[in-house]
Amino acid sequence: MESTSLVISVKETQHNQYQAMAAMKSRRVFILYIIFVVYVTVVMLFIASMLFRSATSKNDGVKGLPRYMNEEEVGMVKIRGDGTLNEQLKIAFEKSDDNNDGYLEEQELADWIQTKVSEHITVGVKENFKVFLKLDKNPKDGWVSLAEYVALFLSSRGAKTEKELKREVKEQLMREKAEFFEIANEQNRLTIDELLRFRHPESSHAMILERVTQLIDTLDQDGDGALSEEELLLLCDPAYRPSDEETALFPVKSKQQMKALHTQLDLNPDKQLDQHEILVFVDPRHGYHATSDARRLLQLADADGDGALTLTEVQRHARPFRVIVDARHKFHQPEDRR
pLDDT tens sequence across 201-247:
999 999 999 999 999 999 999 999 999 999 999 999 989 989 999 99
The DSSP result for 122-180, as a single string, is: HHHHHHHHHHHHHH--TT-SS-EEHHHHHHHHHHHTT-SSGGGS-HHHHHHHHHHHHHH
Q: How far apart are CA 138 and CA 133, in angstroms?
A: 11
SS3 label, residue 59: coil
Work out the pLDDT band at 283, boundaries 50, 70, 90. very high
pLDDT for 7:
46
pLDDT for 10:
46
* Residue 257 parent element (H or E): helix 255-265
Q: How far apart are CA 133 and CA 146, in angstroms?
A: 15
Of residues 26, 22, 3, 4, the one with CA closest to residue 14: 22
290-329 pLDDT, tens digit each: 999 999 999 999 999 999 999 999 999 999 999 999 999 9
SS3 label, residue 237: coil
Look up the pTM and report it: 0.79
**Residues of the chain above pLDDT 70, percent:** 80
86-104 pLDDT, tens digit each: 999 999 999 999 999 999 9
**Residues of the chain above pLDDT 90, percent:** 72
What is the number of alpha carbons within 13 Å of residue 63 lying toward its C-beta?
A: 8
Inform me whether the pLDDT recorded for 58 exceeds 50: no
